[in-house]
Chain A
Amino acid sequence: GESVGLHLPTLSVQEGDNSIINCAYSNSASDYFIWYKQESGKGPQFIIDIRSNMDKRQGQRVTVLLNKTVKHLSLQIAATQPGDSAVYFCAEKERNYGGSQGNLIFGKGTKLSVKP
């Protein structure tokens, strides 16, 4: 809920501008990455994902970039709107071994605040 946004890095942008939210991941063996959006009082919502064999993927108004060399992931939101105000999390998944599904590991998140 509201307490999710406390103690988080905050990005403040003007409505209509583009937003870039960054995430450093920890494990070079991770092969799948996801961005989630969490609005106040709600559960995280899937935004976009990318596999490690790609370096860019585009969705509707969102683009995810993956730089495996420096273990960096970014989420770009075009023409940011007030409804985009939320906490954004990246998550990484380790490569599967033996057919078992690796669990997701979540970053701590960035709070995006959109000024009208």
Chain B
Amino acid sequence: DAGITQSPRHKVTETGTPVTLRCHQTENHRYMYWYRQDPGHGLRLIHYSYGVKDTDKGEVSDGYSVSRSKTEDFLLTLESATSSQTSVYFCAISESGTGGYGYTFGSGTRLTVV
């Protein structure tokens, strides 16, 4: 997707290990989001950021932390991965202001915790 890149695209990790997912944008958008997507649940917000070093929790934040030290990067960390965190993770960006509020999504990271 133009202007937003997620890495890695796929990852398999063991229970109890730390995992960091990266979202990188080239659009200079103020807002960045991390969602997880699971069958039967749709997209659920984990954490979001409204500026450098400004973050807040979403609906399903337990077991996750985030950091945003630069406008372009938003990191999602699973401190100790569990099988319940097996999911597809999407990053999204949004510009502020009076324009539309639609989000632009990345291509997703498929994480499997075994």
Contacts and interface: CB of A to CB of B under 8 A. Distances in A.
A12 interface: no
Interface in B44-94: 45, 48, 50, 58, 88, 90, 92, 94
Interface of A: 1, 3-4, 6-7, 32, 34, 41-46, 49, 89, 93, 100-101, 103-104, 106-109
Please tell me the size bucket of the interface on B: 20 to 34
A89 B42 contact: yes
A103 B39 CA distance: 21
Contacts of A106: 42-43
A93 B43 CA distance: 14
Given A42-B108, A43-B107, A101-B31, A107 B90 contact: no
A42 B104 CA distance: 12
B34 to A, nearest CB: 12
A45 B101 contact: no
A18 B29 CA distance: 36
